[in-house]
Amino acid sequence: MLERVLSLRSRTTQANSEEDVDDESKTRKTLSLTTRFLNQLTKTNFLWPSLFFFLFLLITSIAIHSRNIVCDVSSTGLIHSRFNFFGIDGLDSEFGLLGVPWCRSKHGKTVEWTTKDLIKGIEEFVPVYETRPIKNNMYGMGFDHSFGLWFITRWIKPELMIESGAFKGHSTWVLRQAMPNTPIVSLSPRHPEKYLKKGAAYVDGNCTYFAGKDFVDFGSVDWGRMMKKHGVTDRSLVLVFFDDHQNELKRLKQALKAGFRHLVFEDNYDTGTGDHYSFRQMCDQFYVRGGGHSCFKDGDEARIRTKRRMFWEKAVDIGELCGEGEAWWGVKGQMRDDFNHSNKAISYNEHFQNSRFVESVLDVYWELPPVAGPSLTHQTRYDPARVSSPIVEDGRFGLFQRLGLGSLETSVFNGYTQMVYLQVSKSSS
Ligand SMILES: C[S@@+](CC[C@H](N)C(=O)[O-])C[C@H]1O[C@@H](n2cnc3c(N)ncnc32)[C@H](O)[C@@H]1O
Ligand SMILES: *[C@@H]1O[C@H](CO)[C@@H](O)[C@H](O)[C@H]1NC(C)=O
Ligand SMILES: *[C@@H]1O[C@H](CO)[C@@H](O)[C@H](O)[C@H]1NC(C)=O
């Protein structure tokens, strides 16, 4: 109860100091509630006694919280100022502050696994991850997505794994750790073995590579022949992993055509960011809870974004989010493809139809949450305001340590970009 009062108090204080204009705000409800509450107190002559009481609570709360911060957060000044800036109780409550758009599945089905399964998975995966051949995988996957891919793959237990976008082969290695005896097909313009000359790389012994001079794009492979070659009769037993920075709508259509049902996309980039059109972008729609944007420069979203831009590298401000004619969908009204080498303007209507199409083939949509909160991992890139709550929440330092996460280098937590798992089927079925 006390906790509730405290958190309401500091949140509304923050809202009052930040927002003086009343518009289509996500904090308007809190604001008007506070105002009404204060008015009521003034009317009933309870204002001053109440203020003293709140002051007392405030001091107690600072005392309690600063003790927590001392044990939980390292001494990096930046991290301290980040959290102080967003309020005393802002440690985990800021997750999803600016909305977390989701794609709706046809029948509202969700994944079978729970947070408990994920936590157990992390504990198992940390020692595996520590044996990875490529220690420094800059431009490739870090810990969060490696865990996500490993966990999803182990759960699905596919008979064939397909990977598009291998780079030095780290994700091939992750797939191999998840399923030691399952064949892999890997598509990448440059063969991972090329990287062996310069340093660490992973080439798998049971993997068919379409790489180097043998490279074929996912959309051009004769999948019927490949299935026969690997003795796979049921295509719903195939898992496809995309980390090739291609328009995800294009990849979805190709995967549906080939009859695949389990798809994992590494980079489910947020609206206004990234080098390819993503599902998150497609489903960032006004009719989806947490979706849609206001390009109003004096609006609350603009104000909150400007502040968050100062603290989180991947946060975008309203100028970066909104293009000509207030086009905010995709990246400034553009559908990006192929590492931003191709860029096509789309109308809002087209964008809207894309989300409708995606939802018509979706059985399950699940975004991997960050493995642990930023006060634990010290990551500085993704903005919690656009992300769901982490598996290990801020403040759970004991759990973080117990799972072995504390022994990993900080840099491995810097690559989170909302990996997403999709289960799809043609709309007719
Ligand atoms: C971000 S990296 C992949 C990182 C890798 N999955 C890992 O775990 O480190 C993207 C890779 O996609 C490759 N790529 C580019 N175009 C591609 C295409 N059309 N199909 C498949 N891969 C492609 C690039 O050469 C690059 O190796
Ligand atoms: C490939 O997989 C088969 C079947 O699991 C196994 O017997 C063989 O040793 C593997 N080969 C390599 C090079 O890993
Ligand atoms: C992506 O391409 C557009 C041009 O089509 C360019 O204006 C923009 O700066 C590029 N962004 C990145 C991150 O490369």
DSSP states of 255-314: HHHHT--EEEES--PPTT-SSS--HHHHH--TTSTT------TTSHHHHHHHHHHTT-TT
Give the DSSP letter of residue 95. Answer: T
| Cβ atoms of 387 and 96 closer than 8 Å | yes
List % helix, strand, coil for the chain (3-state, nearest 5).
45, 10, 45
Q: List the structure tokens of 151.
A: 């966990």
**Topology adopted by domain 115-424:** Rossmann fold (3.40.50)
Q: Residue type for 201, please? A: A
What does the DSSP 8-state code read for residue 24?
S
Is the C-beta atom of 205 inside 6 A of ligand 2?
yes
C-alpha closest to that of 146 among 164, 134, 160, 162:
134
The rounded mean pLDDT for the chain is 84
pLDDT confidence of residue 47: 52
pLDDT band at 46 (very low <50, low <70, confident <90, very high): low
Q: Is the CB of 188 under 6 A from ligand 1?
A: yes
Ligand 3 mutation pick, 331, 343, 417, max ligand atoms within 8 A of CB: 343
CB distance 180 to ligand 2 below 6 Å: no
pLDDT at 256: 97
Whether pLDDT at 41 is above 60 = no
Is the CB of residue 194 less than 8 Å from the CB of residue 167? no
Please give the share of the chain, as a percent, with pLDDT higher than 90.
Answer: 76
- pLDDT tens per residue across span 392-412: 999 999 999 999 999 999 999
Ligand nearest to the CA of 344: 3
pLDDT at position 83: 43
Lowest mean pLDDT among 14-18, 168-172, 260-264, 357-361: 14-18
- 49-96 pLDDT per residue, tens: 455 555 555 544 544 444 333 333 333 334 434 444 444 334 445 999
| Separation of CA 210 and ligand 1 centre (Å) | 12
- How would residue 427 be classed by pLDDT, with cut points 50, 70 and 90? confident
pLDDT tens for each residue of 324-351 = 999 999 999 999 999 999 999 999 999 9
Decide: 384 in ligand 1 pocket, CB within 6 A: no
Quote the pTM value.
0.82
Q: Specify the DSSP class assigned to residue 174.
A: H
Where along the chain do its domains lie?
2-72, 115-424
Residue 162 pLDDT class (50, 70, 90 cuts)? very high
Inter-residue contact 315 to 385 (CB < 8 Å): yes
Give the lowest-confidence range in 2-11, 196-205, 238-247, 293-302.
2-11
Atom of ligand 2 nearest to the CA of 183: 2
CA distance 141 to 174: 10
Please tell me whether residue 172 adopts helix, strand or coil conformation: helix
Instruction: From 397, 269, 382, select the one nearest 334 (Cα to Cα).
Output: 269
CB count within 10 Å of CB 289 equals 10
State what percent of residues in the chain have pLDDT above 70.
Answer: 78
Question: Span 215-226, mean pLDDT?
Answer: 97
Q: Tell me: the pLDDT tens digits for 359-387?
A: 999 999 999 999 999 999 999 999 999 99
Cβ of 340 closer than 6 Å to ligand 2, yes or no, is: no
In Å, how far are 174, 183, 194, 284, 314 from 214, measured between CA atoms? 23, 18, 14, 37, 36
Q: Whose CA is nearest to atom 14 of ligand 2?
A: 205
How far is the C-alpha of 302 from the C-alpha of 296, rounded, in Å?
7
Nearest 5°: phi and psi at 190? Answer: -115, 130
